[in-house]
Amino acid sequence: MRRRWLGAVAITMASLLGLTACGGGGTAAPTGSATGGGEAKKQVEVFSWWTGPGEADGLKAMRGIFEQQNPNLTFFDAAVAGGSGDKAKALLQSKLQGGEPPDTFQGHAGAELQGYIKAGQLEPLNTLYDELKLKDVFPQQLVEQISYQGQIYSVPVNIHRSNVLWFNPAVLKDAGVAGAPKTIEEFIAALEKVKAKGKIPLSIGSEWTVTHLMENVLLGSLGTDAYNALFKPGADWSGPAVTKALENFKTILSYAGDPQDDWQPAAKQVADGQAAFNIMGDWAYGYFHNPPEGGLGKVSKTDFDWAPAPGTEGTFMWLSDSFTLPKGAKNRDGALAWLKVAASKEGQDAFNPKKGSIPARKDADASLYTDYLADSLKDWGSNKLAGSIQHGVSVNQPWLAAITEAVGLFIGSKDVAGLQKSLAEAAKANAQ
């Protein structure tokens, strides 16, 4: 099982270096300017991994606003497909190390960016935040969590929720489960009832989805304040509360079905009535809900439903796609123009309904966000916040790599003491 997971996510640098950063139909690499009507237009290279349905449409909508507001600039879509951003990040690293940064690049807001910050590869954006009064429109806790030593290095364009329990109402009803379990204990009891009926209690995907599951069980077991404290210097990963949380994780994982190739086929098991539950981020909503060309075409509240992951009601475990200002960008002014669109109400309201996420801003046009997105928007404005581990908010990339290795070993060993020891060592080595 471990070999299967690792094989599915293996990436070679040789293949990465052979990639051409392009968008849509294989656009050539940017040359720095384009000619239109005799007047040179400066190109702005925007590097992302938004190439799939929904996300590419959202990027196109933001691009339209950018080009309308900046007729002297031309947008170059340097998106790299595949790997949930893994291929894009690896290629980006080679560009940065080679002294050829894009004008702006996508990254998960939070600790994921610390490697770039410490390497001196990003400019702080405090002046931009002051100019646009972004601290007034972004939640205070969000600004705190994306700051490093008093400096802010990215502009969040959206918010995704990590702690969502997706479930099949018919499977729950058949198993005698009245509704979405609210606590870890209720969840384990519900998993047992589903198992007795011969259905898959919990679907899982590739290995990263197990780390995603673990972060949700940690939050649901520890509570928001204790979970957030785990990522501060001197945090106690060795204590009895974490031991209990990891025991819960072991128990819950024991009800999982065979691992699927990625999160989509695992989610499909719920939509098709083969499985009862799946814990996944809210990008799953678009997959469930969208028409068959880009999704499953299922009916919400009938074919699938949602609730906060067990034990996490009142807390929004978040992650955010954001854009940065690299040092040495060829078109720094163009990058700042893009960041202004990404930060704007107009830009975020154009992007997010298509992406299947909600804006980071508090002043969104609520009429644009319906069904699941309406629930998410309401909770984002009222819940406590907790940062995702798997998706780059609470831990930097070396720390996540150590956690991923520990979880991978645990999948085979089921050794809670060994997992806790590895997590404690990873925290000691990386928490700052």
Cα 158 to Cα 262: distance, rounded to the nearest angstrom: 23
Residue 404 and residue 287 in one domain? yes
Does any domain span residue 3? no
249 in the same domain as 311 = yes
- Judgement on whether residues 118 and 153 belong to the same structural domain of the protein: yes
Tell me the per-residue pLDDT of 317-329, one tens digit each, with 9 for 90 and over.
999 999 999 999 9
Domain end call among 381, 402, 418? 381
Q: Is residue 386 part of a domain?
A: no
- Do residues 71 and 147 share a domain? yes
Is there a single domain that holds both residue 123 and residue 193? no
Give residue 12's pLDDT.
38
Q: Which of these, 102, 144, 118, lies nearest to 331 by C-alpha position?
A: 102
In angstroms, the Cα distances linking 262 to 248, 259, 284, 303 are 23, 8, 12, 21
| pLDDT reported for residue 239 | 97
Q: Average pLDDT across each block of 10 residues of the chain; the chain has 432 residues. List them in order.
A: 42 40 40 53 94 84 97 96 74 93 95 93 97 94 88 96 98 98 98 98 95 98 97 95 98 98 93 98 89 87 98 96 96 98 98 92 93 94 92 93 97 98 96 79
375 domain residue, yes or no: yes
Confidence (pLDDT) at 340: 98
19 burial level (CB within 10 Å; 0-12, 13-18, 19+): middle
In terms of residue numbers, what domain contains 189?
161-317+392-430
**Does a structural domain hold residue 79?**
yes
Residue 2 lies in a domain: no
- Residue 147: count other Cβ atoms within 10 Å of its Cβ: 16
Residues 208 and 179 occupy one common structural domain:
yes
Domain count, the chain: 2
In this predicted model, what pLDDT tens digit does every residue of 348-383 receive, in sequence order?
A: 999 998 888 999 999 989 999 999 999 999 998 889
Provide the pLDDT for residue 10.
41
Tokens representing 186? 């209720």
Question: Residue 1 falls within a domain, yes or no?
Answer: no
Same domain, 67 and 114: yes
What length is written for the chain? 432
Angstrom distance (rounded) from CA 121 to CA 114: 10
Residue 192 lies inside a defined structural domain of this protein? yes
User: Do residues 367 and 296 both lie within one domain?
Assistant: no
Which pLDDT score, from 0 to 100, does residue 396 have? 92
Confirm whether 64 is domain-assigned. yes
What is the model's pLDDT at position 90? 87
What is the sign, positive or negative, of the torsion defined by CA atoms of 221, 321, 204, 369? positive
* Whole-number percent of the chain with pLDDT over 90: 78
pLDDT the model gives residue 82? 60
Pair 189, 278 in one domain? yes
Residues 298 and 346 in one domain: no
Residue with tokens 């690049």: 105
Q: Are residues 154 and 70 in the same domain?
A: yes
Look at residue 85 in the predicted model and tell me its pLDDT: 74
Q: Which residues pair with 150 in a beta bridge?
A: none
**Tens of pLDDT along 260-270?**
998 989 999 99
Q: What's at 133, amino acid-wise?
A: K
Residue that is last in its domain, among 357, 381, 405: 381
How far apart, in whole angstroms, are the C-alpha atoms of residue 65 and residue 60?
Answer: 9
CATH value at residue 174: 3.40.190.10
Residues 89 and 182 in one domain: no
